[in-house]
Structure 1
Amino acid sequence: MSPIPSYSRPGRGQHFQKAYGFAEACIAGDRMEIAGQTGMSPTSTVIPPTIEEEVAQAFSNIDEVILYTLEQTKPELRASVKHGWDRVVKIRTYHVNLPSNREKIIELMVENVKKWCPDHQPTWTMLGIDALPFEGQNLEIEVDVYLG
């Protein structure tokens, strides 16, 4: 069996892949699976000071991972999309302190989905969790991307 193709952006993505053994994206058939992305800066482990900025950065990180992977694997598809989010079909979000921030988180998630997916509505599963790997992180977002 041939290996499953995996991809990570230069910088933090490739560092994490080497250090921890996981990729930011894998392609399986007509799907791209994106590892959970947080609101960390793409070049460091700095987390923005506000939840609004953290959510916005997480969405931007996902877009960058999708576009980078498309550039490496499917340049013709990359040329046909404005954003990587144009091909997202499934969103899973993990939130720290969801009970105390539920309304604000839902508002921010809906705002960003409408911004990044103006022409389609992906499915969404939202989960509350106790903690994420780095201190101060409030959310992590995974997506599935349709390549067909």
Structure 2
Amino acid sequence: MAGFTFHDYEGFGQYAKEHYNFSQAVRVGDRIECSGQGGWKGGSASTVPDLAESLEEQIDLTFNNIDMAMKTAGGKGLSQVYRITSYHVRMQTTPKTMEYMAKSLAKWFPDYSPIWTAVGVEALGLPTMLVEIEAVAHDPKD
């Protein structure tokens, strides 16, 4: 697999690799992409993670997990992310979804606005997940 490397953070990242056969992030040259991250609070490598109860907390924890995935792949974290794709359960019936996302984007990206696509879905990978976010970053090799 020359040209790209896969990375998994401790806890749920390792659990997902072992039980679901996918990685949290991949580095391809100067680009890092992370798989869909959720609002989990952590979790050991042998358990499914605890998800935050509220949508607002899940969104915030999701950005924290993206930051962790990017750093595990050798990047500097969210400061290098230029593209976000978010998936939302009950997007049409949860009026605060876009408000919470905008608030988190302003918090996590205070110096610029990444490109963003928001998609409403019926369900996500874990039963109580309300949001899942993928991200792409540019991390130039010095």
- Return the TM-score normalized by structure 2: 0.89
- Divergent runs of 4+, >6 A: none
The Cα of 1:27 is off from its aligned counterpart by: 0.7
Q: Deviations over 1:60-87 (max 9, x none)?
A: 11111112222xxx6xxx4xxxxx1110
Query: What is the total number of aligned residue pairs between the two structures?
Result: 136
5 Å-filtered alignment, 1:1-148, equals: 2=2, 4-43=4-43, 44-70=48-74, 78=76, 84-101=77-94, 103-148=95-140
Quote the Cα distance in structure 1 between the aligned partners of 2:88 and 2:109: 21
Q: Deviations over 1:14-37 (max 9, x none)?
A: 121122221000011211010000
**1:81 aligned residue:** none
When the two chains are superposed, the root-mean-square deviation of aligned CA atoms in Å is: 1.4
Secondary structure (helix, strand or coil) at the match of 1:6 reads strand
Return 5+ residue gaps in structure 2 as ranges: none
The Cα of 1:4 is off from its aligned counterpart by: 2.5
Q: Is the 8 A contact 2:4 2:29 kept in 1?
A: no
Identity over the aligned pairs, expressed in percent? 31
Quote the Cα distance in structure 1 between the aligned partners of 2:40 and 2:106: 22
- Return the TM-score normalized by structure 1: 0.86
Q: Is the 8 A contact 2:90 2:120 kept in 1?
A: yes
